[in-house]
């Protein structure tokens, strides 16, 4: 293994880890804000208890999300310093904006929300969780704008004297069409994740025999199921838009996703192939569907010619010199299918849940309870698969060349990596992997423990919002303390 391989593994592991937790945070914050809003408006205490119940799970998750996120902010400089030198002028801007606009907001208002139940007027306390929700979503926008630049660089020029990319328009950077497609897709995925999380856990409790608990969970399950339907639709539509964009901007990525080796007119969409996949000659296509791929690529059923991996490779060598410009075909092909396939878990839960809870019914089926649990991990897996596809489909580029952009703006991962010794990078890879693995186990244990415990007795009634005689009750216990 070279330092490059290890650095790639490290970035992959830490990022996939981070993004197991992030979508839940992004989607759950607005859902909790919504629950608290319903309680605030209707005064129905069931919604208060759901706010507290899912709020606890949210906080357990948020902690690890923050912890793994800190690493990402530093890792560009640690392991990818040549990349940072080349692209910092452009890439640093959305990162800094993310910090100053979004991170401050979510962290400060989250502190106010956690500790402010009896310190703030109710309306201000409600506003705090909405600020957290806005902050988490805003941070996603900035970081996706940064990532989209790596997929499709815009708003940039090349400075030959300093040998670096320079920003020419922040507006173009923030309205990159890749960003405008990737952001809604990611957010929809996050809402699907959080919806599945709430509906899955809620359904599990719904099927339990105790009537009072079922009654408590019913409304929130219905809400989450409808969120899943809306988010699922949005995922599909934004995914389609993004796919069409990718066929124009990164044809190699899409050709790899289809294991389309030679340029073909009206190729069939492949569902199953066998072979070692990194070798075009070994691939045999087993199940194929006609008309789908041309539609995915260009909104037409016929008359579409798509370039194949081998032809794109030849074009790459001609344009950028000798080298391998093919991503890992096996990963690209299967990650794409896994992303779409895992979403079926959420779809099954949404369909079964909406049917079984129709017209005020409370489901009692054991299989539904099992389905709810099995569906829980699927959106997380789909999110990971989607990002693995996006990022590994970009290889060998750290900054992929824009077919209609400035021709000097591209960088391979080989050129991007820091010049560290193998031992140093390997030590950090092992360190992070072990630490993250351990924390993942603790995270799962805590989440499971708090889900199984259900709504807690001491959260049965809301604390009094800030009392009139605030100054007099110095010794009153805090409503929450670590």
Partner 1 sequence: MDLPHFWFLLVAVFFGGYFLLEGFDFGVGMLMPILGRSDEVKRRVLLNTIGPVWDGNEVWVITGAGAMFAAFPQWYATLFSGFYLPLLLILFGLIVRVVSIEWRGKIEDPRWRRWCDVGIGLGSWLPAILWGIAFTDIAVGVPLDENGYVTGGLPVLLRPVALLGGAATCLLFLLHGAVFVALKTEGEIRVAARRLAVGLVAGAAPVVLLLGWTVSWALGEQGRDMQLPFYAAILSSAALLAAALAVRLVREGWAFALTGASVLALAVLFFGSLYPNLVASLPYPERSVTIESAASSPYTLKVMAWAALGTAPFVLVYQGWSYWVFRKRISAAQIPPSIGLSPRLPAPGKAGEPDGNAGDR
Chain residues 66-95 in contact with partner 1, contact rule CB under 8 A: 66-68, 70-71, 73-74, 76-79, 81-82, 84-85, 87-93, 95
Cβ neighbours, 10 Å, residue 69: 18
Interface residue with partner 1 among 60, 138, 234, 347 (CB under 8 A) is 60
Q: Name the residue among 101, 138, 91, 181 with its Cα closest to residue 386.
A: 181
Rounded to a whole number of angstroms, the minimum distance from the CB of residue 100 to partner 1 is 5
What does the alpha-carbon distance between residue 354 and residue 455 come to, in Å, rounded to a whole number?
23
CB 245 within 8 A of CB 181: yes
Rounded to a whole number of angstroms, the minimum distance from the CB of residue 412 to partner 1 is 17
Tokens of 402: 């824009």
CB 353 within 8 A of CB 199: yes
Rounded to a whole number of angstroms, the minimum distance from the CB of residue 112 to partner 1 is 5
The separation between CA 36 and the C-alpha centre of its own chain, rounded to angstroms, equals 24
Rounded to a whole number of angstroms, the minimum distance from the CB of residue 420 to partner 1 is 7
Interacting residues with partner 1 between 209 and 268 (CB under 8 A): 210, 213
User: Which residues are paired to 164 by β-bridges?
Assistant: 159
Q: Which is nearer to partner 1, 205 or 342 (CB)?
A: 205
Q: Name the residue among 89, 188, 92 with its Cα closest to residue 142.
A: 92
DSSP 400-453: PPPTTS-TT--EEHHHHS----HHHHHHHHHHHHHHHHHHHHHHHHHHHHHHHH
Rounded to a whole number of angstroms, the minimum distance from the CB of residue 204 to partner 1 is 10
Each residue 131-160 as x (binds partner 1 by CB under 8 A) or -, in order, gives ----------------------------x-
Q: Helix H segments across 152-210?
A: 170-174, 177-206
Interacting residues with partner 1 between 366 and 425 (CB under 8 A): 418-420, 424
Interacting residues with partner 1 between 426 and 445 (CB under 8 A): 428, 431, 435, 439, 442
For residue 450, state whether it binds partner 1 (rule: CB under 8 A). yes
Tokens of 360: 């005020």
Interacting residues with partner 1 between 90 and 129 (CB under 8 A): 90-93, 95-101, 103-105, 107-112, 114-116, 119-120
Interface residue with partner 1 among 211, 321, 404, 458 (CB under 8 A) is 458
Interface residue with partner 1 among 40, 122, 164, 369 (CB under 8 A) is 164
Rounded to a whole number of angstroms, the minimum distance from the CB of residue 31 to partner 1 is 20
Torsion over CA: 86, 91, 93, 96 (sign):
negative
Interacting residues with partner 1 between 18 and 47 (CB under 8 A): none
For residue 9, state whether it binds partner 1 (rule: CB under 8 A). no
Rounded to a whole number of angstroms, the minimum distance from the CB of residue 405 to partner 1 is 17
Q: Which is nearer to partner 1, 290 or 445 (CB)?
A: 445
What does the alpha-carbon distance between residue 185 and residue 236 come to, in Å, rounded to a whole number?
8
Interacting residues with partner 1 between 310 and 369 (CB under 8 A): none
Q: For 265, phi and psi rounded to 5 degrees?
A: -100, 130
């Amino acid at each position: 293994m070279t330092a490059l391989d290890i650095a790639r593994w490290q970035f992959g592991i830490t990022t996939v880890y981070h993004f197991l937790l992030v979508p839940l945070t992004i989607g759950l914050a607005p859902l909790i804000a919504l629950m608290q809003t319903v309680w605030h408006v209707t005064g129905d205490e069931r919604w208060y208890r759901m706010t507290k119940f899912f709020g606890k799970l949210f906080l357990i998750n948020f902690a690890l999300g923050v912890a793994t996120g800190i690493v990402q902010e530093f890792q560009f400089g640690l392991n990818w310093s040549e990349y940072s030198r080349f692209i910092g002028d452009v890439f640093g801007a959305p990162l800094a904006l993310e910090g100053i606009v979004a991170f401050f907001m979510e962290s400060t208002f989250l502190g106010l929300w956690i500790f402010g139940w009896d310190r703030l007027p109710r309306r201000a306390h409600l506003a705090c969780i909405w600020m957290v929700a806005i902050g988490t979503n805003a941070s996603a926008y900035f970081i996706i704008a940064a990532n989209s630049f790596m997929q499709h660089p815009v708003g940039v020029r090349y400075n030959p004297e300093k040998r670096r990319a320079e920003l020419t328009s922040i507006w173009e950077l923030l309205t990159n069409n890749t960003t405008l497609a990737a952001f809604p897709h990611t957010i929809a995925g996050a809402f699907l994740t959080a919806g599945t999380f709430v509906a899955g856990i809620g359904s599990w409790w719904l099927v339990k025999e105790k009537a009072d608990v079922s009654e408590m969970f019913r409304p929130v399950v219905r809400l989450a199921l409808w969120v899943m339907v809306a988010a699922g639709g949005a995922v599909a539509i934004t995914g389609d838009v993004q796919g069409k964009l990718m066929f124009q901007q990164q044809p190699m990525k899409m050709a790899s996703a289809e294991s389309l080796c030679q340029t073909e007119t009206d190729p069939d969409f492949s569902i199953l192939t066998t072979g070692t996949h990194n070798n075009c000659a070994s691939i045999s296509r087993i199940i194929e569907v006609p008309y789908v791929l041309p539609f995915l690529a260009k909104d037409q059923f016929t008359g579409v010619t798509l370039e194949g991996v081998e032809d794109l490779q030849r074009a790459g060598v001609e344009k950028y010199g000798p080298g391998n410009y093919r991503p890992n075909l096996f990963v690209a092909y299967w990650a794409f299918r896994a992303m779409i396939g895992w979403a079926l878990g959420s779809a099954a839960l949404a369909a079964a849940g909406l049917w079984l809870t129709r017209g005020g019914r409370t489901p009692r089926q054991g299989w539904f309870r099992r389905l709810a649990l099995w569906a829980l991990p699927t959106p997380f897996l789909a999110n990971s698969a989607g990002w693995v596809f996006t990022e590994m489909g970009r290889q060998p580029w750290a900054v992929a060349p824009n077919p209609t952009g400035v021709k000097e703006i591209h960088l391979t991962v080989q050129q991007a990596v820091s010049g560290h010794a193998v031992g140093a990078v390997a030590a950090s890879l092992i360190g992070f992997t072990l630490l993250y693995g351990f924390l993942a186990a603790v995270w799962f244990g805590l989440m499971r423990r708090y889900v199984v415990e259900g709504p807690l007795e001491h959260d049965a009634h809301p604390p009094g919002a800030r009392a009139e005689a605030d100054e007099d009750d110095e010794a009153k216990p805090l409503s929450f303390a670590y």
